[in-house]
Amino acid sequence: MNLFPLALAGALAFGAMTAQAQEVTVGVTTTGVPFTFVDTASQQPTGAMVDLAAAIAEDMGATPEFALTQFSALIPALQTGKIDLISAGMFATDTRREVVDFSDPVYSYGDALFVASEDAGEYQIDDLAGEVVGAQIGTTFADQLQAKGIFSEVKLYDSLVDIMRDVKLGRIKAGFGDKPIIAYQVAQNPALGVRLVEDYEPMSVGNVALAVSKDKPELLSEVNAAIAAMKDSGELAEIFAKYGL
């Protein structure tokens, strides 16, 4: 009996499995500057969470493949196996923990309130009672605003850029979103026509973490081991500092 074809087939199958094991598909968004966005020059995904995922993959001996995904579609993509990992400005909340597993925290921040540039008001949440406000669909901020029940409407948007446009045009009174993302965008592009309300007290402060499917505990362990090593070496802080975080 000639065993060579069987041996060859087995080797090829093992090689394919090894190649697959060395790739990790990472879900990122295009609207999460400076966490995740597309560089206009290279047209490649970039940002703090992109650099972090690349560094984690390198530590694991894997190659990252970045998949541009709407924020609201990140968890469904993870659940259906389209991606292996979420690396974005996503809070590790109890609600999300019911369907995905989160890594150890890598960054913490709260929500921000922004209004039109010509609006000089220094608002807190209760000052906006009865107004129309906006938030990004799928975010914890949207859920928190709706739960308060004090607004005439909480409009939900696919992106922060769309919220900023409607705030600038006076279609809604104010917008809410991730403070570091909004601060970065406003600083980089004053033409957006919005400003941060500096004295606003955030509704909450959350921990950003990477998300993994619940059926991949080994991947979660590898991710956490890489994060721990990067915290010890200072590499984690360097990655976020590179983007002003």
Residue 119 in this model has a pLDDT that exceeds 80: yes
Task: Say yes or no: 230 and 174 in one domain.
Answer: no
State the pTM of this model.
0.72
Task: Say yes or no: 125 and 197 in one domain.
Answer: yes
- DSSP symbols for 18-33: HHHHTEEEEEE-SEET
Contact (Cβ atoms closer than 8 angstroms) between residue 126 and residue 167 = no
Average pLDDT on 161-182 reads: 95
Task: Say yes or no: 195 and 231 in one domain.
Answer: no
Distance separating alpha carbons of residues 219 and 104, to the nearest angstrom? 13
Distance separating alpha carbons of residues 61 and 43, to the nearest angstrom? 25
Task: Say yes or no: 60 and 73 in one domain.
Answer: yes
Is 11 inside any structural domain?
no
Is 3 inside any structural domain?
no
Is 6 inside any structural domain?
no
Task: Report the b/e string of 142-156 with b at 16+ CB within 10 A.
Answer: bebbeeeeebeebbb
Is 8 inside any structural domain?
no
CATH number at residue 121: 3.40.190.10
Distance separating alpha carbons of residues 204 and 148, to the nearest angstrom? 13
When pLDDT is cut at 50, 70 and 90, the band that residue 33 belongs to is: confident
Q: Is the N-terminal amide bond of 34 cis, ω within 30° of 0? A: yes
Distance separating alpha carbons of residues 11 and 243, to the nearest angstrom? 44
DSSP symbol at 107? E
Task: Say yes or no: 198 and 77 in one domain.
Answer: no
Structure tokens at 51: 């650099």
When pLDDT is cut at 50, 70 and 90, the band that residue 105 belongs to is: very high
One-letter amino acid at 109 equals: Y
Task: Say yes or no: 162 and 213 in one domain.
Answer: no
Task: Say yes or no: 96 and 214 in one domain.
Answer: yes
What pLDDT was estimated at residue 9? 41
What pLDDT was estimated at residue 21? 52
Question: From residue 96, how far is each of 62, 77, 104, 139, 164 by CA, in Å?
Answer: 26, 14, 14, 11, 26
Residue 176 belongs to what domain range? 110-205
Question: From residue 116, how far is each of 4, 34, 37, 75, 91 by CA, in Å?
Answer: 72, 22, 24, 32, 27
Is 14 inside any structural domain?
no
Alpha-carbon dihedral 185, 190, 195, 199, rounded to 10 degrees: 80
Task: Say yes or no: 26 and 102 in one domain.
Answer: yes
What confidence tens digit (pLDDT) does each residue in 213-239 have?
999 999 999 999 999 999 999 999 999
Euclidean distance between the first and the last CA atom of the chain, given in angstroms as a whole number: 64
Task: Say yes or no: 130 and 187 in one domain.
Answer: yes
Is 90 inside any structural domain?
yes
Is 53 inside any structural domain?
yes
Task: Say yes or no: 82 and 54 in one domain.
Answer: yes
Task: Say yes or no: 199 and 217 in one domain.
Answer: no
Question: From residue 66, how far is each of 29, 51, 74, 182, 241 by CA, in Å?
Answer: 10, 11, 12, 23, 22
What pLDDT was estimated at residue 37? 92
Residue 105 half-sphere exposure toward CB, CA atoms < 13 A: 10
Task: Say yes or no: 102 and 215 in one domain.
Answer: yes
What confidence tens digit (pLDDT) does each residue in 46-90 have?
999 999 999 999 999 999 999 999 999 999 999 999 999 999 999
Q: Give the number of domains in the chain.
A: 2
Is 13 inside any structural domain?
no
